[in-house]
Amino acid sequence: MKKIVAFNGSPRPAGNTSHLLSKFIEGANENQIEIEVLHPQRLNLEYCTGCLRCNVLRRCSIRDDDWAEVSSKIVNADVLVFAAPVYFHHVPAPMKAMLDRFRSFINVQITETGLIHTPWHTWNKDFVLILSLGSSDAVDADPVIELFRYMTSILGENNRLHIITATRLAVVKQVIKTEEELRELYQKMRLSPQLAPVDFLRNQELLEACRELGAKIARRI
Ligand SMILES: Cc1cc2nc3c(=O)[nH]c(=O)nc-3n(C[C@H](O)[C@H](O)[C@H](O)COP(=O)(O)O)c2cc1C
């Protein structure tokens, strides 16, 4: 059976990220597919030490943590989902620490003009990036998007990247609040209550976009 491995990078168990990811999973579950959700902050993962031995070993040299198991799940997955809140224009630290370990999936050769990246495995995966932000401006997510464009390309030219950015979600569970709840919240936050119906609709559209993407990807693989 085809497999989705999803990483939920939010430290808030019932936060916006979790709700957006749940919708993606709901859509994917409309098809016969195996889905596993992992939380980088709950995994025992050391930081990359920069030893670069992976360039020869074809695996990470750190052996006494969860990476061997997690990396094998990553390699065997058809779809990798990275759902996270944006923290200071990036993903939260546990997810970034995990992403640094992806260095062990590739050989890097230094040339006079730049770097040549050769993945140890043949990668042909869908990467899904679901980002939740407090800001109204999705520009805060640009460094994360840039990183994932880079990573998906160096891990194999056949990889595909799908991105959903969910803005104006500063408060926990904001994405699932009713129009009335948003109006009350915006009054407390001294935001125009006129934003409530607009944001309510937009949040519904975002949740539906996550569900549709899950269904579309699970149908295709
Ligand atoms: C430490 C920290 C840093 C943050 N940095 C940003 C940021 O740079 N840009 C932004 O739009 N939101 C930022 N936020 C807001 C969160 O991204 C936003 O509230 C998100 O919806 C939280 O998702 P969650 O409910 O899944 O935890 C930050 C929040 C925290 C706690």
Q: What is the CATH number of the domain that holds 33?
A: 3.40.50.360
CA distance 47 to 44: 10
Q: In the chain, how many domains are there?
A: 1
Identify whether 202 is part of a domain: no
Ligand 1: residue whose CA is nearest its atom 28: 87
In a domain, 158, yes or no: yes
Considering the domain boundaries, does residue 28 fall inside one? yes
- 193 within domain boundaries: no
Ligand 1 atom at shortest distance from the alpha carbon of 170: 19
Dist CA 73 CA 38 (whole Å): 10
For residue 164, tell me if it sits in a domain.
yes
pLDDT tens per residue across span 145-195:
999 999 999 999 999 999 999 999 999 999 999 999 999 999 999 999 999
Q: Is the dihedral of CA 70, 74, 79, 83 positive or negative?
A: positive
Sign of the Cα pseudo-torsion (97, 153, 107, 109, in order): negative
Residue 168, CA atoms < 13 Å, CB-side half-sphere: 16
Alpha carbon of 196 to ligand 1 centroid (Å): 20
Ligand 1: which residues within 6 Å by Cβ?
Answer: 10, 12, 15-17, 85-89, 132-135, 140, 169-170, 172
Ligand 1 centroid vs 85 CA: distance in angstroms?
A: 5
> What span, in angstroms and rounded, lies between the C-alpha atoms of 123 and 171?
37
Rounded to 5 degrees, what angle do the CA atoms 138, 16, 31 make? Answer: 100
**Pairing mode, strands 3-8 and 34-38:** parallel
Q: Which of 37, 133, 140 is the pocket-test mutation for ligand 1 (most atoms within 8 Å of CB)? A: 133
Ligand 1 centroid to residue 210 C-alpha, Å: 19
The answer to whether position 150 is within a domain reads yes
Residue 221 has pLDDT above 90, yes or no: no
* Confidence band, pLDDT 50/70/90 cuts, at residue 62: very high
CA of residue 112 to ligand 1 center, whole Å: 40
Give me the chain's average pLDDT, please. 97
In a domain, 60, yes or no: yes
What are residue 150's phi and psi, to 5 degrees?
-65, -50
Residue 46 domain boundaries = 3-171+211-220
Asked if residue 62 is part of any domain, the answer here is yes
Average pLDDT for 191-220: 97
Residue 208: pLDDT band (50, 70, 90) is very high
The alpha carbon of 174 and the centre of ligand 1 are apart by a number of angstroms equal to: 12
Minimum CA distance residue for ligand 1 atom 19: 170
Give the number of other Cβ atoms within 10 Å of residue 206's Cβ: 23
